[in-house]
Amino acid sequence: MTKHNTKCIQAFELESLLSKLDSDFCFCLTTKRNPKGYPIVLLGSGKSALAQTFVYKHFIGRIPIFGHNEVHHSCKTKKCVNPKHLKLLSRKEHAAIHAGRFCRHGHERTPENIYFDSHGWQSCRQCRIDNEARRPQR
């Protein structure tokens, strides 16, 4: 599959690729992603959707409107669209799984990305770098 960083994959292309997939490995899309890093597919007439939502609906089943359900990646890979790795959870269950795993701007909390400030508070290193870059130079 060719890498497309600047455009979305068409939904029918994704459907064709996934119908040939018979694997437990992650199937990662390298297409355009939303600000949180999840891949996007084009549905037609200018509409787009999160790839994992499209795949879940097409290969597993509909997502109930009520209950605030969300598609969770059991493999913990945002770019993966393998239907075997997608699980439907309530928003509350999903939040509990990810509690503390990401900062409020979506950066993953890893030992390399966390530091403790002079007051002992845990902070996101990437957010600090981003804030410094936005701050006007003196």
Listed in order, strand segments (DSSP E) in 17-138 are: 40-44, 47-50, 69-73, 86-90, 114-116, 122-124
Chain-wide mean pLDDT for the chain? 79
3-class state of residue 61 by DSSP: coil
Which ranges of the chain have pLDDT less than 70?
A: 1-12, 14-15, 17-23, 67, 96, 99, 120, 138
| 40-58 per-position pLDDT tens digit | 888 877 888 898 998 898 8
Q: At 122, list the tokens.
A: 């845990």
φ/ψ (deg, to 5) at 131: -65, -40
Name residue, tokens 């960083």: 5
Q: What percent of the chain is helix, strand and coil (3-state, nearest 5)?
A: 30, 25, 45
Domain annotation for the chain: domains and CATH numbers? 1-99 (3.90.75), 102-138 (no CATH)
pLDDT at position 86, please? 92
